[in-house]
Structure 1
């Protein structure tokens, strides 16, 4: 069973999106088959690190994931990454590859927006000086908002009339209109819940401003966004990063400013990550993604030429020591965490967690998933028909309606009865 969500990577030309994609999809953790039936040409596989229970249960030496990898209790779980095409101003009006860009977004659950923090590329990706990267953040949100608001606004009067006539629930009326954007009803419900208590009922939305406010909170729920401020080792990046952090460090508004929370801004050096991985793969250094340093003096490593050594020292000084990592793995972590997905480990035995290999599977599930819901997703009708119960570590019995929580009941053994 594959984790079902999709992370979409967006960014203007020359912002570093291609380098970012290379950095997060060429991990050495690519072992075994992927848990996805098909991978489209513009899709890749990234890896989400989680703490594997094999470490706390003393079976790390037997932990052999069916997908991804696990080393010393650090498990890398494969997730889908979508390379979204054609991000330029005017996408909502069909400019550039705008129609393809917007169509790709329908398949996304969360966005990673790669932004050139150095200000050395303009809105079209051409070389310049002094460009404000905040503009890129603004117009991404503006394009998506114009796309959805424009479609709703053109037919809004008719929508309201039908809503009043049918006396449907507001969430049902809006879900009919928003389903084409890959929207589940629960997202519409969450968006409505975020509106102020004194906000008019749907049938009384008479101004464009009311519709705009709803679209704003809807977009916050439908497309949570992680901003990857890239090229952090460039000369002008520091002042731009400070300005961006200051702008988005606001907590009071119902709607996020430009759809961005300061908690979901990550500082990245995609090119730095790519170079470190290349040097590691060629045995010049020892490096693990997400680390704050690399090693040059371990047995078996090849000698470095002076040019490579200088570049490595620059990455160490301007990126690793300064910011703690290259940030690319953290961007993936923030994207998955923005969705609240929970890692679940289904096992056949709580005594040994699998023989000869332990903890073969790890599945990321939506927040709020219950024990019985996961059983249905795991084995469909077979386990559902013969469901007899479930338990977790320590022989603790789980109720069907118990919500799965990481570190509490997310190692699950199901029991079945024969079903004629």
Structure 2
């Protein structure tokens, strides 16, 4: 049962989010809003008709990672300010959004295409929720026998066309500006792609993946070259995980096999969002003992402290256990969130004031209170500025767990992600900065 303390924590987690944003995308009625509800504390509107979602829905989900409290014998003292720690597993809050359903022709403004594509800019990784039961067509309308394999490529095509069209219609201006300013191609492209929430490093990584190196004359690129660039850009800026939803329906198995065969290199996870929602509801009502991500649950038959299920409820739970948990190992919801964060290679970083006690205040309390997920490649001093601008402004040095100083340009990894910063600020200001 969710109590007042849980509600306070969740409200706080919404207000102080890590930078990573996971976006749920797909056609209408594929189960995006249900997935958001299953993964978060949201209550997004759900309905089996097109465009249930008009404005983007937001929620907070949690990424499980190994907390340093286990390694340094601080499990009983660990006190996260955001998220929670459960016996050495740290659940870090991550923002999720469910945007309006996409239909063919969205890049030309059909359906809610313009709104969808504009909302998409805020996401770092995309969860493409696919209705693998084949009970909704490409417009999200109820049907039978629809082949969901069609949904995968056209979603990628719509996003591709959205970006390509915006670039190509301005390509003459782009090439003239490069020639006039003698700028590097990556600088010019970054300016044109900044509206998609793109950093310069994303453009550099895109060009590297194409094995194209500066100096690059953009006037030599034809339409095919720009298409190749957009494809490579999407792989870096908007990586996609296929969420094969509604796996509990009888028509799903055959469709899953076809999708796996056609897209062997894509990350995909079988899920049942409605099963996760139902299990969480039964847990809150004390009918079952269930932990998100597990492959089983307890009922009154195995745990006497639980409420006894009537025959109808017990039958429904047994069917869910057989069709989803035993067959796929879980409902797939927690696995999807974990995969999304790790696909972008985000790293949990713990700033502390005392490397011996791992406390975040002078009083010695608040052990491992703070943690932030940061992109791979984040530098030590750069992270100081992410915590607070004055930490970077008055930066003197940073130390790792072994007491050795870390280089300003040293990349943060899972091996040096507990950091103590020392600044040149006066004592009173120093306290304010660190809090």
| TM-score above 0.5 | yes
Matches within 5 A, 1:217-256: 217-249=232-264
Query: Hey, what does 2:270 align to over in structure 1?
Result: 267
Report how far residue 237 of structure 1 moved. 1.4
1:342 to 343, 347, 350: 347
Query: Hey, what does 2:46 align to over in structure 1?
Result: none
1:22 to 37, 42, 45: 37
1:92 to 88, 107, 118: 107
Query: Hey, what does 2:296 align to over in structure 1?
Result: 293
Unpaired segments ≥5 residues, structure 1: 28-39, 250-260
1:302 aligns with 2:307: yes
Report how far residue 130 of structure 1 moved. 2.2
Q: Which moved more, 1:391-400 or 1:328-337?
A: 391-400
**Aligned partners of 2:180 and 2:172: how far apart in 1?**
12
1:361 aligns with 2:370: yes
Secondary structure, aligned partner of 1:55 = helix
1:73 aligns with 2:98: no
Report how far residue 199 of structure 1 moved. 11
Query: Hey, what does 2:140 align to over in structure 1?
Result: 125
1:63 aligns with 2:68: no
**Aligned partners of 1:299 and 1:398: how far apart in 2?**
54
Secondary structure, aligned partner of 1:349 = coil
Query: Hey, what does 1:193 align to over in structure 2?
Result: 208
**Aligned partners of 2:372 and 2:142: how far apart in 1?**
43
> Normalising by the residue count of structure 1, what TM-score does the alignment of the two structures yield?
0.89
Report how far residue 419 of structure 1 moved. 4.5
For residues 47-98 of structure 1, the C-alpha deviation after alignment (integer angstroms, 9 at most, x for no partner) is 1111111111111111121011111111111111112113111111111111
1:137 to 152, 167, 192: 152
1:315 to 296, 320, 329: 320
Q: Which moved more, 1:55-64 or 1:151-160?
A: 151-160
2:382 to 373, 383, 389: 373
Query: Hey, what does 2:280 align to over in structure 1?
Result: 277
**Aligned partners of 2:310 and 2:333: how far apart in 1?**
26
For residues 326-355 of structure 1, the C-alpha deviation after alignment (integer angstroms, 9 at most, x for no partner) is 111111111111211100011111222123
- Residues 17 and 95 of structure 2 are in contact (CA less than 8 Å); yes or no, is this contact kept in structure 1? no
Report how far residue 204 of structure 1 moved. 4.3
1:399 aligns with 2:407: yes
Q: Which moved more, 1:226-235 or 1:355-364?
A: 355-364
**Aligned partners of 1:416 and 1:49: how far apart in 2?**
32
Matches within 5 A, 1:3-14: 3-14=18-29
Report how far residue 41 of structure 1 moved. 6.8
1:45 to 60, 75, 78: 60
Report how far residue 216 of structure 1 moved. 0.8
Q: Which moved more, 1:150-159 or 1:210-219?
A: 150-159
* CA separation of 1:246 and 1:9: change in aligned 2, threshold 3 A: same
* CA separation of 1:325 and 1:417: change in aligned 2, threshold 3 A: same
Secondary structure, aligned partner of 1:61 = coil
Report how far residue 201 of structure 1 moved. 3.7
Report how far residue 275 of structure 1 moved. 0.7
- Residues 132 and 246 of structure 2 are in contact (CA less than 8 Å); yes or no, is this contact kept in structure 1? yes
**Aligned partners of 2:291 and 2:93: how far apart in 1?**
17
Report how far residue 197 of structure 1 moved. 5.0
Q: Which moved more, 1:87-96 or 1:282-291?
A: 87-96
> Normalising by the residue count of structure 2, what TM-score does the alignment of the two structures yield?
0.86
For residues 235-269 of structure 1, the C-alpha deviation after alignment (integer angstroms, 9 at most, x for no partner) is 121121111112122xxxxxxxxxxx42x211111
Query: Hey, what does 2:191 align to over in structure 1?
Result: 176
- Residues 191 and 218 of structure 1 are in contact (CA less than 8 Å); yes or no, is this contact kept in structure 2? yes
- Residues 104 and 154 of structure 2 are in contact (CA less than 8 Å); yes or no, is this contact kept in structure 1? yes
Secondary structure, aligned partner of 2:282 = helix
Report how far residue 19 of structure 1 moved. 1.2
Q: Which moved more, 1:217-226 or 1:394-403?
A: 394-403
- Residues 86 and 100 of structure 1 are in contact (CA less than 8 Å); yes or no, is this contact kept in structure 2? no
Q: Which moved more, 1:282-291 or 1:178-187?
A: 178-187
* CA separation of 1:367 and 1:87: change in aligned 2, threshold 3 A: same
Unpaired segments ≥5 residues, structure 2: 1-15, 43-54, 428-435
**Aligned partners of 1:324 and 1:112: how far apart in 2?**
20
**Aligned partners of 1:162 and 1:394: how far apart in 2?**
50
**Aligned partners of 2:347 and 2:268: how far apart in 1?**
22
